[in-house]
Structure 1
Amino acid sequence: MTLPGTAPNPPGADRTFQVDLRGLVDLLSHHLYSSPRVYLRELMQNAVDALTARRTLEPAAPADAFGVRLYADGSVVRVEDDGVGLTEADVHSFLATIGRSSKRADRLAEQRGDFIGQFGIGLLSCFLVADEIHVLSRSARTPDAPAVEWRGRGDGSYTVRTLPASARPRPGTTVTLTPRADAGEWTRPAQVHALARHFGSLLRHPVTFDDGTGGPGTSVNPEPAPWARTYPTPGARSRALAAYGEEVFGFKPLDTIELDLPAVGLKGIACVLPETVPAGRRHGHRVHVKGMLLSEQAEEILPEWAFFVRCVVDAESLRPTASRESLYEDDTLAAVRDALAERLRAWIARAAASDPDLLGRFLQAHHLAVKSLAVHDDEILRMLLPWLPFETTDGHTTLDEFARTHRTVLVTSSVEEFRQVAAIASAAGLGVVNGGYTYDRELVHRLPEIRPEATVADLDPDTLTAHLDPVDRETELAAAAYLAQARDALAVFDCDVALRTFQPASAPALLVDSREARHERTRSQLAREQEGGLWGDILGALRQEAPRAQLILNQLNPLVRTAVAIDEPELARTSAEALYGQAAMLSRRPLRPAESSLINRSFLDLLAHALRKDS
């Protein structure tokens, strides 16, 4: 039998691939495989596929009748299996596969669809590390099948020979590699053993490794996957799964969630991370397909919000890409992703219902992930919103506890707004939640959906100032001249000045100024500067009545009582500027350049006044 387009050759004569073999190997190494180490996975995959085909031929054979044996002594790497074996026609067929796959990398995926196509592509990967590949095989399909030998070399030449059955007494295939000198990193005995464990620890067929030192071979997969074992008690099972997760991922899971999707033959575990991770940081998951490790970085099996777990799963029906290093995005994968997401939701629900201690530790580490889920998931919202921590004027607490003591829950639109008003609002008896963090404002507004008796409203300056006590008429009149000078000094900041009484008395002033108000004033200022131009017209059309900031002075503060009695105009202006600057700094928002300049100037002016007075 000859390849299409080749002349007949005598048995055992050298032939040449009708492709650019070196170019094909370059295609594999640069565009398909992430590392030369995949050669061993491909050989093991070929062997496992052959065992599966043999099991179909002989379903009554004992479970341990067929296996895979690996050998590496530093000079050769050998993979031997008791699988279905190859005929000479099969050999020529996989050679044809190599030819068909050589034109484009995406054709490789098509050729992997059958056993022979997979075998040929698997052999191609061996040229990443070897100068010579030797295949000796005997088919199990007929009792008297001869052995067939194929020997391929890196220069593109190969030979095919039919040998007596005695050349290989048992059916199966042996692939022997002669590594290149520069491939020692991947073909040393210890590395081959480590790679075999890495890729094949969950394989269902027995796999052994021999390093050529004369000792007994060691098992690559001595035990089934931990979720496939029998345990004396549920507690023993949970501990074993957690220990496996710690071994695989290097951390002790907060909890271990068992995963089982019979429809796609998927089993595995999800390990809950014990510590907070950055929002949106997705972790790679270990995905095995029929026991063989496909990827350690498979992000696509879980939705983005599930960044609080790392999974290791083994599946029957997920479809690998051509490189067999990631998953093909199809309807099956989408269904698996949705089903696994539902398992995570169910775990959260069980923790909320029956294990508040576990739930508390989980939320302490991963409340942001849960908040992102609760925004779009009504069931999670109903279950967990009462448990989620928020920053409030009562400290960090849950909304449930906060709503019990504050009938009306006020929520700010930014972190800086909360920091401006927190102390004053708390002293005034107002219940305010910091809505500036991701998801918080939206979630607080949904509180009445699960607590109908609660009222939620946005905090605005009028709400706060309405809860500050006015001063008596006599005090207001006495301070009128100072307040007029203060308003004039702060007009450049569009800031009004008022006198009130509020706790704590140690706070001399409160600056009430929302982010939206500052943006509107900035837009108005730009419109004035660009008046008559295109941008001026655009900004002018957007302009609304610019809301003013308010500097509220605290009559209960001794410093303020002294300041409002100042009758020297320049000193009055300077003191008003200093009070504004101090209140702006306490608000913790970014200072504008003009405000920074005002703070420096007012400090120096007050210092100069004090020095003149002393002299």
Structure 2
Amino acid sequence: MTSTIPPTGAADTPSEAAANSFQVDLRGLVDLLSHHLYSSPRVYVRELLQNAVDAVTARRAHDPDAVVRIRLSAGAGRVTIEDTGIGLTAAEAHSLLATIGRSSKRGGEHGLETTRQEFLGQFGIGLLACFVVARQIRVVTRSARDPQAAPVEWLATDDGSYTVRELPHEALPEPGTTVHLEARPGAEEWTVPAKVEQLARDYGSLLPYDITFEEEEAARATAPGSVGAARPITDRPAVWDRPYATPDARRVALAGHCTALFGFSPLDSIDLDLPVAGVRGVAYVLPESTSPAHRAGHRVHLKGMLLTDRADNLLPDWAFFVRAVLDTDTLRPTASRENLYDDETLAAVREALGARIRTWLAELAASEPDRLAAFLRVHHLGVKSLARHDAELLGLMLPWLPFETSDGSMSLEEFAAAHREIHFTRTVEEFRQIAPIAAAHGLGVINAGYTYDADLLALLPTVRPGIKVTELDAGAVTDRLDPVAAEAELALTAFLSTARIRLEAQSCDVVLRAFQPVSVPALFLDDRRTRQERDRASAQESADSLWSGILGSLRGAAPRARLVLNHNNPLVRRIASIPDPALAGTAVESLYGQALLMAQRPLRPADSSLLNRAFLGLLEWATHSTGTEGTQK
């Protein structure tokens, strides 16, 4: 008999309306699967393995004493898979193999409902997905539920037609199913034995039944019933579930597994054991630091079958320093069966896996500080990312997390012991300018310009009550610097007035202090509000008339930046003694430009113009002075 895929019945309808059946173009469906649902034709091997596993699982449920096996072979543009599973009758072949959307896992009629709950076969695509590589599919099957039923051959081609015929009993003496695929032109590469074997290992290494592979030539040369040429595909139990003589032996085995699977030797490994959620696996710690924006692809098996090796929603975002591999029976696949469906169950599992990684960190802090220190040297960013939302963990990690401070690189615990009042800068550049001066004057400053550090410092007072944390501003630094003697500052009143006038256009005040190190002639100080106002003014200078008016209306009353002149510096004292106000003003502009460059502040057009003017002014003064001296000689 010949049919078109799928043969669907019409429901009864009122007499005035005739019912029609949907028709499915199989070639169009295969194109849809190949180009829009599946990422690669490689999934056909998964479909073959999944159908075989379902069949032998159902056979075990029907007959617990049955001997079940699955054998896969390939060669010369052909792929064959044999199982001793539940098998099908002719009616079931019609109903199940050729009907889009009908799954044998959805009810008790065909006895396969015990194989899986809400798992891969749920979408009813099944064997037809193999047409992504096959020109023809031939299924020979015999039912274990009906011993009197004859074996059945179901033969389908990619034009959407199939035939079903009964075979003599001797054609298949025992229950089970054999599926033969014949490659379509252009898809032969997917049936090369080495590729089929590798795909089978990739997808099926953790499946619950023994699966073997052999090349078809070797199979023909082997005596009937012999498996001498067969190679095992499954490798159970999973490496994380095997017994080991010592913890070190287990650690070595896991490291080897990570190298084979992911291509790197892990810094450490973390067990991911959630019995309530039906999850078992391991997370491997990357040996090198990585960006917080990096989303590692994790490897997820669903009841032993590989679902995806690119799951990026399995772990919390802060756990970017690990690659995980696990097996689960609770999570749902997407329609393509190539990723996890992001639902409430996955959210709960993700939170629980994150808690397991957090517990691992706490255990290291309590009992294995050397391993924790080695981990934090590489991955402190990941821990900081987690700790900014977890005050308890921050408290545990305080002795270990490194920060850049005015006293050198050290932990927050050490720094807080020396400074009850902690200041911080929001940019790396600001810190590097301030740090030497702050250290010389006993001011405790932390560089919070790195990722997460400002968040952790904001949380610090809740973990260590009594510690005050404030953002560093120009006033705080200036107040810590030594004032100049009143009579000395009075003598420089005219110079300071000239300096303030020359920098008025830059919205910068000028103050005189004495500070260390002596080698620093001037210090440029501002705060966040001042920087915002500078950015607004810079944007206004280069904007068109419309935007210039808008930006002008946003002008705020931000505190002015400060140029702090170091009275201890010999150059500053010489400039302050210059009798020519114009030359002294040019020298002050040069000090302002040098301080901006030292602070690595972005230069506004007005700043660039000032630097050019000061440079040319000093050149003119130097050349004029040299020329005068030559004339006098």
TM-score (norm: length of structure 1): 0.90
Q: Which moved more, 1:239-248 or 1:346-355?
A: 239-248
Task: Read off the aligned partner of 1:42 and give its amino acid letter.
Answer: E
Task: Read off the aligned partner of 1:610 and give its amino acid letter.
Answer: A
> Who is 2:139 aligned against?
135
- Distance in 2 between residues matched to 1:211 and 1:268, nearest whole Å: 32
Is 1:259 aligned with 2:272?
yes
In structure 2, relative to structure 1, the CA distance for the partners of 1:527 and 1:162 (3 Å cut) is: closer
- Distance in 2 between residues matched to 1:78 and 1:264, nearest whole Å: 36
- Distance in 1 between residues matched to 2:590 and 2:120, nearest whole Å: 84
In structure 2, relative to structure 1, the CA distance for the partners of 1:71 and 1:557 (3 Å cut) is: same
SS of corresponding position for 1:387:
coil
> Who is 2:599 aligned against?
587
- Distance in 2 between residues matched to 1:409 and 1:19, nearest whole Å: 71
Is 1:413 aligned with 2:426?
yes
Q: Which moved more, 1:172-181 or 1:155-164?
A: 155-164
- Distance in 1 between residues matched to 2:165 and 2:407, nearest whole Å: 84
> Who is 1:90 aligned against?
92
Q: 2:168 aligns with which of 164, 169, 176?
A: 164
> Who is 2:413 aligned against?
400
Contact 2:299 2:309 in 1 (8 A): yes
Q: 1:21 aligns with which of 23, 26, 29?
A: 26
Offset from partner CA, 1:464-493 (integer Å, 9 cap, x none):
111111112232122222111111111111
> Who is 1:564 aligned against?
576
SS of corresponding position for 1:365:
helix
Stretches of structure 2 lacking an aligned partner (at least 5 in a row): 11-21, 104-112, 223-228, 628-633
Q: 2:82 aligns with which of 69, 80, 85?
A: 80
Q: 1:301 aligns with which of 304, 311, 314?
A: 314
- Distance in 1 between residues matched to 2:59 and 2:323, nearest whole Å: 35
Equivalenced residue count is 592
> Who is 1:554 aligned against?
566
> Who is 2:13 aligned against?
none
Q: Which moved more, 1:34-43 or 1:138-147?
A: 138-147
- Distance in 2 between residues matched to 1:607 and 1:538, nearest whole Å: 37
SS of corresponding position for 2:311:
coil
Is 1:425 aligned with 2:430?
no
SS of corresponding position for 2:398:
helix
Shift of 1:234: 2.9
Is 1:71 aligned with 2:73?
yes
Task: Read off the aligned partner of 1:52 and give its amino acid letter.
Answer: T
Offset from partner CA, 1:306-359 (integer Å, 9 cap, x none):
111111001112222222111222332222111111111101111111111221
> Who is 1:13 aligned against?
none
Offset from partner CA, 1:577-603 (integer Å, 9 cap, x none):
111111111111211122122223212
Task: Read off the aligned partner of 2:164 and give its amino acid letter.
Answer: V
> Who is 2:343 aligned against?
330
Offset from partner CA, 1:47-66 (integer Å, 9 cap, x none):
011111111122244xxx31
> Who is 1:613 aligned against?
625
SS of corresponding position for 1:317:
coil
Contact 1:267 1:315 in 2 (8 A): yes
Contact 1:97 1:117 in 2 (8 A): no
Shift of 1:94: 1.4
Stretches of structure 1 lacking an aligned partner (at least 5 in a row): 7-16, 102-109
> Who is 2:331 aligned against?
318
Offset from partner CA, 1:217-253 (integer Å, 9 cap, x none):
1111244211232222333222212221221111111
Q: CA RMSD in A?
A: 2.7
In structure 2, relative to structure 1, the CA distance for the partners of 1:525 and 1:345 (3 Å cut) is: closer
Is 1:340 aligned with 2:340?
no
SS of corresponding position for 1:145:
coil
- Distance in 1 between residues matched to 2:118 and 2:611, nearest whole Å: 77
> Who is 1:212 aligned against?
216
SS of corresponding position for 2:99:
helix
- Distance in 1 between residues matched to 2:492 and 2:120, nearest whole Å: 96
Contact 2:211 2:234 in 1 (8 A): yes
Is 1:47 aligned with 2:47?
no
Contact 2:406 2:446 in 1 (8 A): yes
- Distance in 1 between residues matched to 2:126 and 2:477, nearest whole Å: 72
- Distance in 1 between residues matched to 2:164 and 2:541, nearest whole Å: 87
Offset from partner CA, 1:67-88 (integer Å, 9 cap, x none):
1111111231101111111111
TM-score (norm: length of structure 2): 0.88
> Who is 1:484 aligned against?
497
- Distance in 1 between residues matched to 2:75 and 2:546, nearest whole Å: 81
Is 1:190 aligned with 2:190?
no
In structure 2, relative to structure 1, the CA distance for the partners of 1:538 and 1:44 (3 Å cut) is: same
Matches within 5 A, 1:130-529: 130-214=134-218, 216-520=229-533, 523=536
Q: 2:609 aligns with which of 560, 582, 597?
A: 597
Shift of 1:300: 1.6
Shift of 1:538: 8.3
Shift of 1:562: 0.6
Task: Read off the aligned partner of 1:438 and give its amino acid letter.
Answer: T
- Distance in 2 between residues matched to 1:475 and 1:446, nearest whole Å: 44
Contact 2:46 2:200 in 1 (8 A): yes
> Who is 2:630 aligned against?
none
Is 1:123 aligned with 2:127?
yes
SS of corresponding position for 1:260:
strand
- Distance in 2 between residues matched to 1:358 and 1:176, nearest whole Å: 53
Task: Read off the aligned partner of 1:58 and give its amino acid letter.
Answer: D
- Distance in 1 between residues matched to 2:489 and 2:54, nearest whole Å: 91
Q: Which moved more, 1:49-58 or 1:140-149?
A: 140-149
> Who is 1:9 aligned against?
none
